């Protein structure tokens, strides 16, 4: 497979999976492993995530701008901004502390990713079928305790294959949020979480980064942006109608296929 085709495929996968509970990192690492694609210093894999971040900013620009301009005199805007920051901090501290283990061990072990995909899919199925009536329907007014606990759940996503959005959605559902607002909160929490992770990744990998393949990176970035734009625009309505079961079954299927391919030593 040519590097250009691999770049397009990986960009599409990044955009499609970043904001749904299936683990974009797990998909990219497994695909890269089986396709034999790996950029120097992981530059490609790091930078294309910025395309997904840009998609959120594009779709929610008016709302983000309103929060940025209203917070000095709007108590609800301040409440939400503080809530997002509270949810962001646990994963930020844990990510920095565990960075060497995450990058050098977990990211290099496809078996762990496959198992995490399957286990996470089963748990998401169980949560999706939970009949507990929701108590919190508006992301702007979650209690600070809920923001903080969702942030702790997000730490589970440091294990590749768990899924950042999947962990936060699971935490939200267990804490009494409804499915739509739980999915919406993952968008806003993604901005500081993904932005911080990409910035820290670039800093730590600064001596190994290679931008010689800038064309491949640009293709992956644009493809990730376009596909993520589609997901962000339509995900909330999809979740409201179908719940999270389709994503859970997808995780189980991908994780199982990955185990079969590992057993057959494909890409080894």
Tokens of 1: 């497979």
Q: Does 48 reside within a domain?
A: yes
Q: Does 26 reside within a domain?
A: yes
Q: Does 268 reside within a domain?
A: no
Q: Does 233 reside within a domain?
A: yes
Given pLDDT bands bounded at 50, 70 and 90, which one contains residue 207? confident
- Give the number of domains in the chain: 1
In DSSP terms, 136 is beta-bridged to: 177
Given pLDDT bands bounded at 50, 70 and 90, which one contains residue 265? confident
Structure confidence by residue, pLDDT tens digits, 97-154: 998 888 888 887 899 999 999 999 999 999 888 888 899 999 999 999 999 999 999 9
Q: Which domain holds residue 194?
A: 3-263
Query: What percent of the chain lies above the pLDDT cut of 90?
Result: 60
Q: Does 42 reside within a domain?
A: yes
Q: What is the pLDDT of residue 41?
A: 57
pLDDT over threshold 90, residue 3:
no
What's the Cα-to-Cα distance from 89 to each of 67, 140, 193, 261, rounded to whole Å? Answer: 20, 18, 9, 37
Q: What is the pLDDT of residue 202?
A: 81
Given pLDDT bands bounded at 50, 70 and 90, which one contains residue 254? very high
> What letters, b where the CB count within 10 A reaches 16 and e where it falls short, cover 214-224?
eebbebbbbbb
Tokens of 259: 């185990």
Q: Does 221 reside within a domain?
A: yes
């Amino acid at each position: 497979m040519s590097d250009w085709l691999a770049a397009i495929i990986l960009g599409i996968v990044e955009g499609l999976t970043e904001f749904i509970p299936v683990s974009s990192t797990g998909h990219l690492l497994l695909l890269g492993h089986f396709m034999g694609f790996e950029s120097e210093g992981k530059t490609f894999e790091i930078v294309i995530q910025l395309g997904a971040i840009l998609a959120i900013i594009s779709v929610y620009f008016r709302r983000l701008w309103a929060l940025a301009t209203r917070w000095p005199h709007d108590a609800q805007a301040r409440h939400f901004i503080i809530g997002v920051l509270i949810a962001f901090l646990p994963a930020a501290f844990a990510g920095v502390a565990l960075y060497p283990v995450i990058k050098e061990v977990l990211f290099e072990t496809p078996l762990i990713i496959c198992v995490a995909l399957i286990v996470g899919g089963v748990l998401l199925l169980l949560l999706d079928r939970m009949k507990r009536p929701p108590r919190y329907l508006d992301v702007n007014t979650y209690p600070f305790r809920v923001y903080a606990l969702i942030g702790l759940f997000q730490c589970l996503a440091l294990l590749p294959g768990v899924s950042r959005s999947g962990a936060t959605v699971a935490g939200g559902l267990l804490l009494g949020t409804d499915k739509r607002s739980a999915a919406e909160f993952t968008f806003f929490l993604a901005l500081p979480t993904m932005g911080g992770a990409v910035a820290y990744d670039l800093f730590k990998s600064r001596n190994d980064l290679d931008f010689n393949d800038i064309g491949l990176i640009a293709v992956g970035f644009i493809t990730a942006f376009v596909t993520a734009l589609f997901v962000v625009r339509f995900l909330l309505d999809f979740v409201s109608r179908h719940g999270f079961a389709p994503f859970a079954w997808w995780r189980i299927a991908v994780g199982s296929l990955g185990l079969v391919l590992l057993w057959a030593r494909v890409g080894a």
